[in-house]
Chains A and B, each alone.
Chain A
Amino acid sequence: MTTLSAAERERYQRHLSLEEVGVSGQEKLRAARVLVVGAGGLGSPAALYLAASGVGTLGVVDHDRVDASNLQRQVLFETASVGRSKVEAARERLLALNPCIDVHAHDLEVRAATVMDLLRGYDIVLDGTDSIPTRYIVNDACVLLRKPLVSAAIHRFEGQLMTYLPGLGPCYRCLYPEVPEGLVPNCADAGVLGVLPGVVGAMQATEAIKLIVSAGSPASGRLLVYDALELTVREFRFKRRQDCAVCGDQPTILAPTDPSTGLCDATTLRDRVRRLRPAELQVLLCAEHSHERRESATSVPVIVDVREPREFATGHLEGALNIPVAELAARLHEIPPGRLPAFICRSGARSLIACSVALRGGVAQAVNLEGGMLAWVAEVDPTLVVAAAR
Chain B
Amino acid sequence: MARGSRVSISERTVVTTRVASPFRSYTDGRAIVESRGATVREALADLDRRYPGMRFRMIDEQDRIRPHIRLYVNTDAVEQLDHRIGRGDTLHLICALSGG
In the bound assembly, the distance between CA atoms of A234 and B92 in angstroms comes to: 10
User: Closest CB of chain A to B16's CB: distance in Å?
Assistant: 13
B88 at the A/B interface (Cβ < 8 Å)?
no
Q: A160 contacts which chain B residues (CB < 8 A)?
A: 94, 96-97
Closest chain A residue, CB of each to CB of B77: A238
Q: A40 contacts which chain B residues (CB < 8 A)?
A: 100
B52 touches A374 (CB 8 A): yes
B21 touches A177 (CB 8 A): no
B70 touches A158 (CB 8 A): no
Q: A378 contacts which chain B residues (CB < 8 A)?
A: 52
Q: B52 contacts which chain A residues (CB < 8 A)?
A: 347, 374, 378
A184 touches B95 (CB 8 A): yes
Closest chain B residue, CB of each to CB of A130: B100
In the bound assembly, the distance between CA atoms of A227 and B29 in angstroms comes to: 13
B97 touches A372 (CB 8 A): no
B56-100 interface with A by 8 A CB criterion = 56-57, 59, 61, 63, 66-68, 70, 72, 75, 77, 92, 94-100
B96 touches A184 (CB 8 A): yes
Q: B24 contacts which chain A residues (CB < 8 A)?
A: 156
B14 at the A/B interface (Cβ < 8 Å)?
no
Q: B92 contacts which chain A residues (CB < 8 A)?
A: 234, 236
From B31, B66, B68, contact of A227 by CB (8 A): B31
Q: How many Cβ-Cβ contacts under 8 Å join chain A to chain B?
A: 120
Output the residue of A160, A177, A230, A371 with the most chain B CB within 10 A: A160
Which of A9-17, A98-106, A186-194, A331-339 participates in binding chain B?
A186-194
From B21, B63, B95, B100, contact of A390 by CB (8 A): B63
A129 at the A/B interface (Cβ < 8 Å)?
yes
Q: A348 contacts which chain B residues (CB < 8 A)?
A: 53
A184 touches B97 (CB 8 A): yes
Closest chain A residue, CB of each to CB of B21: A158
From B56, B59, B61, B100, contact of A42 by CB (8 A): B100
Q: B70 contacts which chain A residues (CB < 8 A)?
A: 175-176, 223, 236, 238
B100 touches A183 (CB 8 A): no
In the bound assembly, the distance between CA atoms of A183 and B23 in angstroms comes to: 11
A225 touches B98 (CB 8 A): no
B98 touches A179 (CB 8 A): yes
- In the complex, per-residue mask of B27-62: 1 if CB is within 8 Å of any chain A CB, else 0: 000010000000000000000000011011101010
User: Closest CB of chain A to B98's CB: distance in Å?
Assistant: 5
- In the complex, per-residue mask of A369-390: 1 if CB is within 8 Å of any chain B CB, else 0: 0011010001000000000011
From A154, A225, A236, A371, contact of B100 by CB (8 A): A154
- In the complex, per-residue mask of B8-22: 1 if CB is within 8 Å of any chain A CB, else 0: 000000000000111
| A347 and B97 contact, Cβ closer than 8 Å, known pairs A176-B68, A237-B75 | no
From B67, B72, B75, contact of A176 by CB (8 A): B67
From B63, B66, B67, B100, contact of A129 by CB (8 A): B100
User: Closest CB of chain A to B97's CB: distance in Å?
Assistant: 4
- In the complex, per-residue mask of A28-60: 1 if CB is within 8 Å of any chain B CB, else 0: 000000000010111100000000000000000
In the bound assembly, the distance between CA atoms of A357 and B92 in angstroms comes to: 31
A349 touches B21 (CB 8 A): no
In the bound assembly, the distance between CA atoms of A187 and B20 in angstroms comes to: 15
B61 touches A155 (CB 8 A): no
User: Closest CB of chain A to B57's CB: distance in Å?
Assistant: 6
In the bound assembly, the distance between CA atoms of A180 and B95 in angstroms comes to: 11
B22 touches A225 (CB 8 A): no
B31 touches A347 (CB 8 A): no
A346 touches B97 (CB 8 A): no
In the bound assembly, the distance between CA atoms of A307 and B56 in angstroms comes to: 12
From B22, B31, B53, contact of A184 by CB (8 A): B22
Q: A176 contacts which chain B residues (CB < 8 A)?
A: 67-68, 70, 96
In the bound assembly, the distance between CA atoms of A179 and B21 in angstroms comes to: 16
In the bound assembly, the distance between CA atoms of A97 and B95 in angstroms comes to: 36
Q: A122 contacts which chain B residues (CB < 8 A)?
A: none
Closest chain B residue, CB of each to CB of A37: B100
- In the complex, per-residue mask of A143-158: 1 if CB is within 8 Å of any chain B CB, else 0: 0000000001111111
The 10 closest A-B pairs by CB, nearest first: A347-B53, A187-B99, A153-B97, A158-B21, A130-B100, A179-B68, A177-B67, A155-B97, A154-B99, A128-B100
Complex A-B: 5 CB contacts under 8 Å: A43-B100, A127-B100, A197-B100, A346-B56, A389-B61
